[in-house]
Structure 1
Amino acid sequence: MSTNILVTGAGGQLGSELRYLSENELSLSEGLAFIFADKSSLDITSKAAIERFCSINSVSHIINCAAFTAVDKAESEADKANAINHLAVKYLAEVAKKHDIAVIHISTDYVFDGSSKQAYQETDTPNPKNVYGKSKCLGEQVLQDINPARSIIIRTSWLYSLFGSNFLTTMLRLGQEREQLNVVSDQIGSPTYARDLARAILQIIPQLSRANENVPIYHYSNQGQCSWYDFAKAIFAAADIDCRVKPIPSSDYPTPAKRPSHSVLATAKIEQEFGVDLVQWSQSLRSCLARY
């Protein structure tokens, strides 16, 4: 059976990195045919559109990178966040189960409330504290309920890339415009370079031949942890940008959505089961910015 991989959310950070690797790292992508789809070419909120697209393109795998990721905007656009992060996953799962398509679905550390000071295990109970996290949690649950064979969920955290809009690209822009920035120092997580996650996904795809009794969850992030303040300082140091960073508490920077204060993910499971490499976040940041 040919390996025809549909990548949804092709214009986002992870989709863009998957496209880059598919075109530039043949050792990872050899024998794999990719179909990159954004919302203009595939409406994933329509089950009929998904079924038609998968049939025409003989899709064997879906990497679902599509998501409503505007965390604060989700508070006022809950229906839209739910349509993309929950209902679209339901339709993708239903089509996948009907046609024996393997699914790799990308989820988030924001399914947790941040009350634990330990790294979150895959078996820990989600308790999202904002609309975005709740919609992503519902997406996980519906995929597991429908249970298409050979499918997995990968939760990741603090994703960044030179593609798209994210904390890194925002800091690079603001660092050039301002002499000083105030950045929250009491939210702790693990910055994750989207290219590292994309590379891990490509390593996992050939290993999805075995059927699962249910849809297992894995955590993937770069290693180590820091605050947003630490991350901002590291970005400016690596990019040689002269901008002072002042640490502030979250209470001094109120946002519509509440965010977990500690959302570090335990990643041993994905390393042990799939043999993926887990790189230190500061090393990956330097690798990313070497292209800047």
Structure 2
Amino acid sequence: MSILVFGKTGQLARELARHEAVSCLGRDQADLSEPEACAAVIRQARPTVVINAAAYTGVDKAEAEETLAHVINGEAPGAMAQACADLDIPFVTVSSDYVFDGNGSSPWRPDDTPAPVNAYGRSKLAGEEAVRAAGGSHAILRCSWVVSCHGNNFVKTMLRLGAERDQLTIVADQIGAPTPARDIALACLEIAQQLTADPEKSGSYHLQGSPEVSWAGFAQEIFAQAGLACAVTDIATTDYPTPAPRPLNSRLDCTTLETVFGIPQPDWRAGLRDILKDLGEAS
């Protein structure tokens, strides 16, 4: 199996690159702001499967750059999916819990109606719709709160601030769960392999760590595992305004992913231990 991955320096792409048969494309080889060029790369390479691990990820910045976010997160995955459909190969792309409005307290199911509340969410939803419209074998994997030892993410920010300060105020009314990029990579590879054998498994799925937690609770666990004596004070989302509104309910129902592909929810606390170990070895 030859796996072509769009993305090279992001959290997910760097985890995918650990595996054999994976070829990762950087922006210099495939710029998602040029969707048809990305499709041309697929047609020329003719891989066994394509995984899109690249995205416009600046949630707040997208409020001022929605057109660019729409091209990268919406049009580019659609062009990739169409190229894969033409070649009759599976396409796997990662989406976000931000396609939902965050109301209520029940975990979002894959068939729930999306209603994004910010530009980033709208761009990811556009990508989902374009992938489905291509009509080929595909999997849309919605994830939340991606973390790893790579790049910039909540874990690394908390480690830095927790070492500098005795106390932090963290939002406590946004509930979801972190999802380690390593687990997302493993899921993408498993899904790709199964889709190759059974295209009927095409559809939208959810992957999120377990158990559910708030950002404040996540920060407390980071400090506990890292041995940092930094106290956490809970605050409401309204006390921490951002350019892009955030959904309060980011819980995802992952039942279908386990039923169809046999992929269980990962324990994010174990994933956090691995991340801290990797960061310690790299320092």
| Match in the other structure for 1:220 | 207
| Match in the other structure for 2:98 | 110
Alignment-mate amino acid for residue 227 of structure 1:
S
TM-score of the pair, normalised by structure 1: 0.91
2:45 to 41, 57, 60: 57
Counterparts of 1:171-182 in structure 2 under 5 Å? 171-182=158-169
2:176 to 178, 184, 189: 189
Counterparts of 1:122-201 in structure 2 under 5 Å? 122-149=110-137, 151-201=138-188
> Using the alignment, how far apart are the partners of 2:245 and 2:269 within structure 1?
26
> Using the alignment, how far apart are the partners of 2:51 and 2:205 within structure 1?
14
> Using the alignment, how far apart are the partners of 1:136 and 1:214 within structure 2?
21
Which is further off, 131-140 or 193-202? Answer: 193-202
| Match in the other structure for 2:252 | 265
Which consecutive residues of structure 1, in runs of 5 or more, have no partner in the other structure?
23-28
> How many percent identity over aligned positions?
41
What RMSD, in angstroms, separates the aligned Cα atoms of the two structures?
Answer: 1.6
| Match in the other structure for 1:25 | none
Counterparts of 1:277-292 in structure 2 under 5 Å? 277-292=264-279
| Match in the other structure for 1:67 | 55
Structure 1 residue 108 displacement after superposition: 0.4
Cα distance, 1:186–1:127 mapped onto 2, change above 3 Å? same
Structure 1 residue 101 displacement after superposition: 2.5
Cα distance, 1:153–1:38 mapped onto 2, change above 3 Å? same
1:119 to 95, 103, 107: 107
2:78 to 77, 86, 90: 90
* Residues 69-90 of structure 1, C-alpha deviations (whole Å, 9 max, x = no match): 1111111111111111001112
Is structure 2 residue 192 aligned with structure 1 residue 205?
Answer: yes
> Using the alignment, how far apart are the partners of 2:139 and 2:95 within structure 1?
10
* Residues 166-201 of structure 1, C-alpha deviations (whole Å, 9 max, x = no match): 111111122222222111011000111111111122
8 A Cα contact 2:101 2:117, kept in partner = yes
Structure 1 residue 214 displacement after superposition: 8.7
8 A Cα contact 1:10 1:36, kept in partner = yes
Alignment-mate amino acid for residue 42 of structure 1:
A
| Match in the other structure for 1:18 | 16
| Matched residue count | 279
> Using the alignment, how far apart are the partners of 1:209 and 1:202 within structure 2?
11
8 A Cα contact 2:17 2:23, kept in partner = no
Alignment-mate amino acid for residue 110 of structure 1:
Y
TM-score of the pair, normalised by structure 2: 0.93
Alignment-mate amino acid for residue 189 of structure 1:
G
Which consecutive residues of structure 2, in runs of 5 or more, have no partner in the other structure?
none
